[in-house]
Amino acid sequence: MSEKFDVVILGGGNAGIGVTGPVRRAGLSVAMIEARDLGGTCPNRGCTPKKILVAAGHALHEIERASVHHIAVGKPKLDWAALIDREKDMIKDIPANLARSMAKRRVEVIKGHAAFAGPNAIRVDNRTLEAKHIVIATGSKPRPLPIPGAEHMITSDEMLSERELPGSVIFVGGGVISLEFGHVYARAGADVTILEALPQLLPAMDADAVAQLQAESERIGIRVNTNVSVKKIEPANGRLRVTFVHDGREQALEADRIVNGAGRIANVDTLDLEAGNVAQTSGRVAVDAHLRSTSNPLVHVCGDAVPISPQLSPIATYEGDIVGRNIVEGPKYRPDYESMATSVYTVPELAAVGLTEGAARQKGLTIDVHVNDMLGWFSARTYAETVAWSKVIVEKATDRVLGAHFVGHAGQELVNIFGLAMRFGITATQIRENVFAYPTFASDIKHMLGHA
């Protein structure tokens, strides 16, 4: 006997939870199947616990610069095990709190691994659920690397759990996770190397911003090698050895831990998509502009499982809400990713919204590019920043901000002001005309935009 629901959601992360708001407000019956912890990656194994480690990195950064303020401090000593305990303690109640909130919304949460049993049916253990709408919100997983010895690599899950600080770490891949954890490890005293296959770290980010961040990463002792081809990983001398080719020369490095930092892919390979008549292209669910399966319009996709959008938690929630509204009102809503602010939480951070300069030029747009090295500005000197850099891209014809990029200078906060301006059509001139509280980093925004 199958049970009947209006909506069955696979995955209880940001995306799945995002769906529940609109569909429950419309009175639809909802089941949510979650294999692990409610909340998914972001609060349990991603953004939230990671930021707790990053915050410790910030404290170490402040201590490093204390002498500028004529404060004498000894060499700081970070108790890594206690920091991991603090992180775990801060997040431990999240799944239970979310279970309460789902119960309050009258979403039936089912524990287990879900897979398709038919175009409108889901199997979980020995239950079959029939639904008018099925939502794939199963998130992502680390990209498997076809390297001999890849099984020796750890992922962010272990980095957030191991209570011993490794003496040395090599990151294979120079993406967001490698840079963020690399900065924390390096500031905590570990020896850190990043090996990146492409010519640039963080390839989707503005090249000049990345160059600033790479310089700062090297300043704190991180070794960065780009254009690297990793050949194999093997145990050696009680540690792990990575063999790679760089500049045409085969080399090897040893470390206590090797991390898979090669990004994440949609987690859909165990869903039996064929049984659900859900078409795929190279292992990704094919979706239309409304985030529906192109072959089965009852099936919707949101969050990291979407093949085309940035894998970020606010975007997962946003897409979940769009899917929920499309279920209630029909396929009306499409995601718009143009003004989504993001940050790489290094210490200091690289934050960005909108187009990179390269992308704007490739589109043939006529732009003003305002680049500022702000290290000499009063605000940067007051806080003894080690890097303070911005680039704001404005379309000449419309005076609209097309992109903003920061390294340091409270960029992770300021980027949201630019995101707001982009989303609601506030022009560069209007931003300049705003009266900002002084002295704040935000009060520098008008100078970042140059003079009209």
Ligand X SMILES: Cc1cc2nc3c(=O)[nH]c(=O)nc-3n(C[C@H](O)[C@H](O)[C@H](O)COP(=O)(O)OP(=O)(O)OC[C@H]3O[C@@H](n4cnc5c(N)ncnc54)[C@H](O)[C@@H]3O)c2cc1C
Chain positions contacting ligand X, by CB under 6 A: 10-16, 33-36, 40-42, 46-47, 50, 113-114, 137-139, 156, 177, 267, 270-271, 303-305, 311-314, 316, 345
Closest to ligand X by CB, 313 or 379: 313
Minimum gap (Å) between residue 394 Cβ and ligand X? 26
Minimum gap (Å) between residue 134 Cβ and ligand X? 12
According to DSSP, the residues that pair with 191 across neighbouring strands are: 168
Closest to ligand X by CB, 156 or 356: 156
Own/partner long-range contacts of 243-247 (Cβ < 8 Å, ≥24 apart)? 244/195
CA atoms within 13 A on the CB side of 120: 12
Radius of gyration of the chain (CA): 23
Minimum gap (Å) between residue 39 Cβ and ligand X? 7
Identify whether the C-beta of residue 69 lies closer than 8 Å to the C-beta of residue 381: no
Closest to ligand X by CB, 10 or 421: 10
Closest to ligand X by CB, 380 or 417: 417
Minimum gap (Å) between residue 366 Cβ and ligand X? 32
**Token pair for 144:** 């498997």
Q: Which of 8, 6, 7, 13 is nearest to 266 (CA)?
A: 13
Closest to ligand X by CB, 73 or 103: 103
Minimum gap (Å) between residue 47 Cβ and ligand X? 3
Hey, CA dihedral for 37, 38, 41, 44, is it positive or negative?
A: negative
**Token pair for 101:** 């909130």
Closest to ligand X by CB, 13 or 354: 13
Whole-angstrom Cα distance, residue 202 to residue 175? Answer: 5
Minimum gap (Å) between residue 267 Cβ and ligand X? 5
Whole-angstrom Cα distance, residue 341 to residue 384? Answer: 26
Q: Which of 236, 254, 256, 257 is nearest to 244 (CA)?
A: 254
Question: Under 8 Å CB-to-CB from 270, ≥6 apart: which residues?
Answer: 113, 115
Other CB atoms closer than 10 Å to residue 76's CB: what's the count? 15
Identify whether the C-beta of residue 294 lies closer than 8 Å to the C-beta of residue 308: no
Whole-angstrom Cα distance, residue 354 to residue 220? Answer: 29
Minimum gap (Å) between residue 115 Cβ and ligand X? 6
**Token pair for 450:** 């140059």
Closest to ligand X by CB, 28 or 54: 54
Closest to ligand X by CB, 309 or 372: 309
**Is residue 189 classed as helix, strand or coil in its secondary structure?**
coil
Minimum gap (Å) between residue 440 Cβ and ligand X? 24
